[in-house]
Structure 1
Amino acid sequence: MTDALSERVATVGRQLRTTQQQLSDDVTAALMRGIEPLDSDPVLVAMLEASVNANVTNIVDVLANDIPLAHLQPPTAAVEYALRLAQRGIPSNALVRAYHMGQNVALRRCYEIIGEQGLATPETVALTAEVSAVLYRYIDSVTAEVFAAYEEERARWIGAQGSALSSTVHNLLAAPSSSAHRFERETGYQLDRDHRAMILWLTDDTRASLADLDRIARDAVNRTGAAGPPLIAPMDGSSLWVWIPSARHPRGSTPADVMREVSLPGGVRVAFGLVGSGVEGFCRSHEQARAAFAVASIPASPTTSVVSYDDRGIAVASMLAKDVDVTRVWVHEVLRELAADTPGTSPLRETLNRYFATGESHLRTAEQLQLHRNTVKYRIDKALAAVRPDTDRLDLALALTACEFLGPLVLSTQRT
């Protein structure tokens, strides 16, 4: 490669760096739209974003600084993401396809930059070929590394206790009617009864382990007076899916109530579904637990370490989170300037939200927020003055619930 061509490649890298975060966001969005298994779990989405950011940073550095690929190691975030996919049984072709889709998005941006340089046709062709070759070699190298890590982890996970059970559970959830008999035969867990699903997971800031989650799950089952042994399936190195059969509720308490009385280790979270009957209830209760888990995993979530689908606002928030872009626009249309993420609007939203939850009682709102009644009335009047006077009360309550549980996903960082 000539010095002139090398400098032009470096220019492409430097230009790419000016919009590096946007490129990372574009790649992540393309993968989430185009590969279904990658967008079903907020933990996986966060790991996907970290992997994409790390790979884009590497690509920019290689182009801008002419770094030999032999000097690069696959990003730690990319390897960890591959391991998590292997643990969850997501097919390896999803991983490989993700890299090729990301390469395509990055190439399109590079081609735009090359077109903006106004070079003669021979120089444009040479630069395009070189940039394409660099990206191809990088993706080929990294894909080989992360795929090897995936295969090694998958082999280890398949050989680990409970992994075959995880696969059986996935098959039942994907095809309940056709997999029920095989599921019962392979697991020994009977589906013709009531079930309550539970998900336990570890956050990043914990020293607890998968073994600790297993112990906590079994202790929870004993405390709830289950009719039989639970089904406990490890999904990856940091989460368990659990089903409790025919749980009896001592003194009228639910399993979630029981768990709230237990001192959980730091960084351990639990989500519950509702009781469901038969194979359909088995699946539906798990869907509800997944929904509660999704809300609890949102950054700055107001939920505690134990969350249940029937907790106030969880079911609604989980449905509003399924299309957060549409929800964000709707929230701004309903709340207007109240949807701004500012110190001044936060107490107004909280007070109005609690006001609706208490049946529009100033007294009970003041008692619950430990505020003077006049302060409550002032905040409510100010909040209602910020929205259209004909705004439906139900729309207001739902939009406020979205702000409470989805927070930064729907709030605006600027005043509207």
Structure 2
Amino acid sequence: MQVEWPPAREPAAQRVWREVLRPIAAEMRASADDLAARAVARMRSELPELFPDAQTVEENLVSTEASLRQLAQIIELAGDPCRLDLPPPTLAIARSAVQRQVALADLMRFYRLAQEQVWQWMFARITAAARDAGDQATALELATGFLFAYADGAMLRAEKAYEVEREVWLRGAAAARAVAIEEILSGRERDGRRASSRLRYEVNRHHVGAIAWVEHAPESGDAQPVLDDAFTTLAHLLGAESTLVHPLSSLAVAGWVSRHQVLTVADLDAVTGVRTQAVPPGVRVALGEPGRGLEGFRRTHIEADHARRVASLIGPHGGALTRYRDVAVTALATADRDHALSFITRVLGPLAADDETTYRLAMTLSVYLEENRSRTRAAERLTVHPNTVSYRVRQAEEILGRSVDIDTLELRVALVMLPAVSGLRRSQVNEL
């Protein structure tokens, strides 16, 4: 074993490194995903403002896991922790933090919390593995020095990446544009002409707001190109004359497409009809409804944000493209998570069970009620035989323990909310 790090070159230190620290490093590499999840959970409790959405959580999980694997590998090799470059996902976070206006102090606090978490994990394993008091003291001294050197180097590189990105960002129009967008969305900016000048995007047009995101970071660590492609495709399908894209994180962007001619419901229906071609693989898109002028710019974004929230709750039951009009009732009804779960449980009872068979019965009943109890039209939408619709509806009634003719409004609303129930339950568990 060729030792690069000077403190580990002494023969006694090399033996402890080989017998104690290398096996712990191998365990760290194998357990990197679990350790990253625990570290990010701790950071979310300490710094909740740094995790505004699911994509930010995911990018930090990917970054933390990559850093842990890098740390484990360099410990196994007894390499120099001061000569490492940051993993690409970690660099992406440092850069996107500038655009999200995350303070550098908060970013550094993130590193310190991660360092503390990793040290506690290593301390427990060193004290368990090194029986001899002298070996234990040596292992703790080596691990402490190594981890601090690694963290210091990583923090210096993250700070440098942050400052370089910040300098570029501040010199350009991005900073002013981000502030202008925030003031429009908050309702503080009410002058359309001034807003257009600040954004370098004409707001006195017809807009559609959209949010595009990926659930997982790509191998390259940079999701922006594929997200930009999603907006380019959307703009083309809608015949847009201009676009505005605003990063939300390294895994998500918000944007608007606009034109002078009215953007109609039919235009969005056409995009929805070709949703598989409109959205690149791995990308999810949420759309607001068309709006005009400054208020339309604001409202269509808010609607897209609600559609995105519902799409995240629905998870695998949803598609690549989610339109606000299709999930408006669910968005409104799930704004209060605990109230929504209570309502669904009360109205649907065992029909809200988390298994595919019961879910299929519930969704058949939902379509049946939407089609005014026409089993023929429901069968056409579900591409099944009308007798199958009748059979499933009877099964759903048996599970409910009552006729579907009772409390129809509550039943229909609860069924519309049902695809989001798994996501609501997950978010409830994550807060505990």
- Of the structure 1 ranges 65-74 and 46-55, higher mean CA displacement relative to structure 2 is found in 65-74
User: Are 1:367 and 2:380 matched, yes or no?
Assistant: yes
1:118 deviation in Å?
Answer: 8.3
Match of 1:354 among 367, 374, 383: 367
> In the aligned structure 2, how far is the partner of 1:337 from the partner of 1:59?
48
> In the aligned structure 1, how far is the partner of 2:145 from the partner of 2:345?
45
1:310 deviation in Å?
Answer: 1.6
> In the aligned structure 1, how far is the partner of 2:145 from the partner of 2:130?
21
**RMSD over aligned Cα atoms:** 4.7
**What secondary structure does 1:177 align onto?**
coil
| Structure 2 counterparts to residues 53-64 of structure 1, below 5 A | 53-63=65-75
**What secondary structure does 2:316 align onto?**
coil
Match of 1:273 among 273, 288, 313: 288
**Are the equivalent residues in 2 in contact too, given 1:176–1:279 (CA < 8 A)?**
no
> In the aligned structure 1, how far is the partner of 2:74 from the partner of 2:413?
48
**What secondary structure does 2:325 align onto?**
coil
> In the aligned structure 2, how far is the partner of 1:366 from the partner of 1:265?
28
User: What does residue 168 of structure 1 align with?
Assistant: 179
Match of 2:391 among 375, 378, 388: 378
**Are the equivalent residues in 1 in contact too, given 2:60–2:93 (CA < 8 A)?**
yes
User: What does residue 256 of structure 2 align with?
Assistant: 242
| Structure 2 counterparts to residues 10-409 of structure 1, below 5 A | 10-16=22-28, 19-63=31-75, 66-69=78-81, 72-114=84-126, 116=128, 127-158=139-170, 163-173=174-184, 176-177=187-188, 183=195, 186-187=198-199, 196-199=207-210, 201=212, 210=228, 213=231, 217=235, 220=238, 222=240, 232-235=244-247, 239=253, 241-242=255-256, 244=258, 248-249=262-263, 253=265, 255-257=267-269, 259-260=271-272, 264=278, 266-267=280-281, 270-274=285-289, 282-296=297-311, 300=316, 302-305=318-321, 307-311=322-326, 313=327, 316=330, 320=334, 336=350, 339-342=353-356, 344-386=357-399, 401=416, 404=419
> In the aligned structure 2, how far is the partner of 1:246 from the partner of 1:371?
43
**What secondary structure does 2:188 align onto?**
helix
Deviations 1:197-253 (A, max 9, x none): 51264766998684883585387365xxxxxx8672443787452265897355xx3
Letter matched to residue 150 of structure 1: Y
**Are the equivalent residues in 2 in contact too, given 1:332–1:339 (CA < 8 A)?**
no
**Are the equivalent residues in 2 in contact too, given 1:15–1:113 (CA < 8 A)?**
no
**What secondary structure does 2:121 align onto?**
helix
Give TM-score scaled by structure 1 length. 0.71
Structure 1, gaps ≥5 residues long: 223-228, 412-416
> In the aligned structure 1, how far is the partner of 2:139 from the partner of 2:408?
59
1:172 deviation in Å?
Answer: 0.8
- Of the structure 1 ranges 326-335 and 46-55, higher mean CA displacement relative to structure 2 is found in 326-335
Match of 1:9 among 7, 14, 21: 21
> In the aligned structure 2, how far is the partner of 1:76 from the partner of 1:332?
44
> In the aligned structure 2, how far is the partner of 1:383 from the partner of 1:280?
44
> In the aligned structure 2, how far is the partner of 1:403 from the partner of 1:64?
49
Q: Percent of pairs identical after alignment?
A: 21
- Of the structure 1 ranges 203-212 and 364-373, higher mean CA displacement relative to structure 2 is found in 203-212
> In the aligned structure 2, how far is the partner of 1:185 from the partner of 1:259?
30
Is the alpha carbon distance of 1:347 and 1:322 closer, same or farther for their aligned partners in structure 2, counting shifts above 3 Å? Answer: same
Structure 2, gaps ≥5 residues long: 1-7, 427-432
> In the aligned structure 1, how far is the partner of 2:100 from the partner of 2:154?
21
- Of the structure 1 ranges 29-38 and 204-213, higher mean CA displacement relative to structure 2 is found in 204-213
